[in-house]
Amino acid sequence: MAETIESGKVCGACGTMNDVEARSCTNCGARLEDAQESPESAHFVDDDPALRYVDPNNRVEVERFERLDEAELACGLLRSNGIACELSSMVLPGLPGEVILWTHARDAEMAWALLADAEREASTKKDDDAA
C-alpha cells in the first residue's frame, strides 16, 4: 500500500540527486537528511487540510489585505474557529499588492463577525489612534 515515488535523496546544499541509501552527497559531501518533504509541504502542517480549501464556485470575498502577513493572521483566526479560508496568491513576497481572503459562502457571515471582533479588540487597545 505504501508506494513511494522517491527516486533518491536530493542534496540540500547543492541539489544533486543521490542514491536513496546514500548518507552523504556524492558531489559535495554534505550530510543527507532522511526527510523527503518539499519546503512547501513543510509549512502549515498543523492546519487541517480541509480548512485550507475553498470551493472556487461557492466562495465569497471576505476581505482584502495589503500585507500577506495580515491576511495570514486573519486566515489563521478563521481557521482556528473552524472556518475554511483561502488566500489569493497573486501577490509576490515583498511587493505591494492586495491579497484576497475567501471563505465558503455559508461561512462568510461568521467570518465577517470574527474579523470585526478582532478589529474591535485591536482598536480598543490603542485608543489614542482615534479616527
Indicate the residue among 25 and 101 with the shorter CB distance to Zn ion. Answer: 25
Q: Which of 13, 20, 113, 122 binds Zn ion (CB under 5 A)?
A: 13
Contact between 16 and 25 under an 8 Å Cβ cutoff? The reply is yes
Three-point CA angle 80, 81, 82, nearest 5°: 90
The binder of Zn ion chosen from 19, 20, 23, 28 (CB under 5 A) = 28
User: Does 10 engage in binding with Zn ion (CB under 5 A)?
Assistant: no
The 10 Å Cβ neighbour count of residue 89 is 9
Q: How far is the CB of 126 from Zn ion (least distance, A)?
A: 50
Residue with cell 559531501: 29
Q: Are strands 59-65 and 9-10 parallel, antiparallel or unpaired?
A: unpaired
24 near Zn ion, rule: CB under 5 A: no
Residues lying near Zn ion in the complex (CB under 5 A): 11, 13-14, 16, 25, 27-28, 30
